[in-house]
Structure 1
């Protein structure tokens, strides 16, 4: 618990664990450095005792050196275990976070499933389809009604303009086909197509085209 009496969060606990492991590891490293200094001193003392021919001192110093080296080896093992513990703690922390995320996702999906039932969704889609069909039918009916009103409006000038434009387009198309249409009277029709295409010309060309389809 923190200073406010509240239970620490997972993140806070993880940070505190990391700090503790780093402190312990620094302590182990300091001990190893001290042992290495002691190891070097013993090695120097052993050399001096060997030169002096002091066998008794040499034996004692050699035993101490063996113990120091064993202790130094233990510090390496301890550092390795501390690092492993930190890695395991971080892996556990990641797994807990992942489990929490999956739990949140599961709760969200459960809430959505509670709010939306397949039956209601199916009815909604059916209603949408029905209303959309009605709207299409209404639009078609309105368009037909407007077309009838506009066609019966008596606006002869606009109607004549539309007819004239369409006939001009047909005349150009018919004139083009007229030049290539096989006929004994092609020469006469070609002369007419250069000036104006009449209804009679159109009927003749259509008849010729039907004959040679």
Structure 2
């Protein structure tokens, strides 16, 4: 006996059992067909014996016929039994597969639970939340500090310098434009002179219309 021989797996055993049952079923079917042939032969012999009036032969042949028919019924019962056993075997195999799958799933979940450690995971998530909140506060404080620094009094002069640089780039001399612009009157006399010029302009327009 080879003690080191590899034991067949459950799947291989199930396959071998199914093969044996199907083989046995085929053999029973073959035996039943032989019995049916013998049954028809005896029926014919009984008819021939009855025609010749051989009562003794009829009686013997009839007893043989009864035995053959009983044996044929046994083959039907045996075949049904084999079919039932084969079905039960398949159901058992399916249940074993299901049990194996559940065992594997249980082992996987157990391993994951050992790896995950819910308490440690919860602690890590809490620490992450605290660190994230602290980072947001630090970022806000740094932004406020930068805003305070950048909004100093020198910002206005720096802004004017940037505006002038842009105007220079597009070729606009705003200083000359401002110097040529009419200045606002500073005295009441200047206002009177402007009124006088406006009156003369109206007179000239009137002459053009006439």
- TM class by shorter-chain length? 0.5 to 0.7
- Rg larger in structure: 2
State the TM-score, normalizing by the size of structure 1.
0.67
Change (3 A) 1:70 1:158: farther
Q: Which residues in structure 2 correspond to 1:53-92 (within 5 Å)? A: 53-92=53-92
**Highest relative contact order (Cα 8 Å, sep 6+), 1 or 2?**
2
Residue 205 of structure 1 is matched in structure 2 by none
Whole-Å separation in 2 of the counterparts to 1:26 and 1:158: 106
User: Aligned residue for 2:47?
Assistant: 47
Unaligned runs of 5+ in 2: 164-210
Q: 2: distance between equivalents of 1:133 and 1:47? A: 106
- Going from structure 1 to structure 2, the CA distance change for 1:59 and 1:159 (only over 3 Å counts) comes to farther
How many residues of Structure 1 are paired with residues of Structure 2 in the alignment? 159
Q: Which moved more, 1:144-153 or 1:129-138?
A: 144-153
Aligned twin of 1:20: 20
2:135 and 2:37 map into 1 onto residues whose CA distance is 93
1:187-209 per-residue CA deviation (whole Å, 9 max, x = no partner) reads: xxxxxxxxxxxxxxxxxxxxxxx
Instruction: Kindly state the Cα deviation for residue 115 of structure 1 after the two structures are TM-superposed.
Output: 2.2
Give the equivalent residue in structure 2 for 1:100.
Answer: 100
Cα distance in 2, alignment partners of residues 29 and 157 from structure 1:
109
**TM-score, scaled relative to structure 2:** 0.68
2:159 to 145, 156, 172: 156
Separation in structure 1 between the aligned mates of residue 151 and residue 140 of structure 2, nearest angstrom: 16
Where structure 1 has 5 or more consecutive residues not aligned to the other structure, the ranges are 161-213
Deviates more, 1:128-137 or 1:110-119: 110-119
Q: Deviations over 1:74-110 (max 9, x none)?
A: 0001001111111111111111111111111111122
What is the rounded CA distance, in whole Å, between the counterparts of 2:137 and 2:36 in structure 1?
Answer: 95
Change (3 A) 1:37 1:157: farther
Secondary structure at the aligned position of 1:29 is classed as helix
Compute the displacement of 1:150 (Å).
4.7
| Separation (CA, whole Å) in 2 of partners of 1:22 and 1:13 | 14
- Supply the RMSD in Å over aligned alpha carbons: 2.4
- How far, CA to CA, are the matches of 1:158 and 1:54 in structure 2? 142
Paired residues for 1:190-209 under 5 Å: none
